[in-house]
Amino acid sequence: MSQIKKCLFPAAGYGTRFLPATKAMPKEMLPIVTKPLIQYGVEEAMQAGITEMAIVTGRGKRALEDHFDISFELEHQIQGSDKEEMLSETRRIMDQCSFSYTRQVEMKGLGHAILVGRRLIGLEPFAVILADDYCITEGESVLSQMVKLYQKYQCSIVAIEEVPRNETLKYGVIEGDIESENVYRISNMVEKPTPEQAPSNLAIIGRYILTPDIFKIIENTPPGKNGEMQITDALLTQAKAGGVIGYRFQGQRFDCGSVAGYIDATNYTYQQQND
Ligand code: G1P
């Protein structure tokens, strides 16, 4: 049975909703309290047994690479002080994981970003985390839950959650038949439909497990919503062949791609840490 060993992080987007903060800093480096979003994503992947991180970056994103690297001066400076502890998690990640990077030169959509990651992934099933969907669980991480499900279904899986009808325009939305509790066999999916066009209120959130045939399918899928290459459209091709599962995960998601969601996530996490 194929294992999921790699996780792809599309991280080339500009994060314009956070300007001016994101003028010279990647949005994935925005901290929830003291830890950047990308690190939460990497930790989630590690909890799912994944150690090979593949990051699709772009211009102005070098801080991402520096974050998962040694900072000699700084580390020398805080050596032996109580501050050293604050970097221990990051060091553990660096010891246990490998990081590879590639650049998305043009922004042509999430499907395109994933396609750009192809050479880092190769011919194996892989996970995708959109770091600005920040997920909190009490037990297993969302991706761990999905990796378990993959062992059973051996096909692409998308994380889904119910959203208010008037918000379907922000998401890929699915339609499907219930297979078992929280598990749907997807028959249709639409990228950012109006509430009237939406086939349900079950929205895709930024956690995917994809089988490698997706790359060829993305290549052969015409541009969709907003003229961009949409992963939702490519997944629809797999779904029509019966091969996509929607999973209503256990846990809570914050949309840290929006300022309000980011503030909620920050407040929630700060509260948790201080309780
Ligand atoms: C992307 C996907 C969309 C999905 C969303 C989850 O949209 O295209 O299908 O529902 O991520 O966060 P974006 O938020 O990048 O516009």
Among all chains, which residue has been given the structure tokens 């029509």?
A: 240
| 116 Cβ below 6 A of ligand 1 | no
Nearest Cα to Cα of residue 268 among 164, 144, 135: 135
Q: Is 130 near ligand 1, meaning CB less than 6 Å away?
A: yes
What is the enclosing helix (H) or strand (E) of 113? helix 110-116
**Res. 234 pLDDT band, cuts 50 70 90:** very high
Nearest-atom number in ligand 1 for the CA of 172 is: 9
Q: 172: Cβ below 6 Å to ligand 1?
A: yes
For residue range 154-181, list pLDDT tens digits in order.
999 999 999 999 999 999 999 999 999 9
Using a 6 Å cutoff on CB, does residue 161 contact ligand 1? no
Q: Choose among 249, 47, 252, 257: nearest CA to 158.
A: 249
Q: Which amino acid is at 115?
A: L
Beta bridge partners of 163: none
Count, residues in the chain: 275
Q: Is the CB of 132 under 6 A from ligand 1?
A: no
Q: Which pLDDT does position 83 carry in this prediction?
A: 87
Number of H helices, E strands in the chain: 10, 13
Per-residue pLDDT, averaged over 223-229, amounts to 95
User: If you measure from the C-alpha of residue 206 to the centroid of ligand 1, how many angstroms do you get, rounded to a whole number?
Assistant: 7
**Per-residue exposure over 121-143, b if at least 16 CB sit within 10 Å of its own CB, e if not:** beeebbbbbbbbbbbbbeebbbb
Query: 102-152: per-residue pLDDT in tens?
Result: 999 999 999 999 999 999 999 999 999 999 999 999 999 999 999 999 999
Q: Is 133 in the pocket of ligand 1 (CB under 6 A)?
A: yes
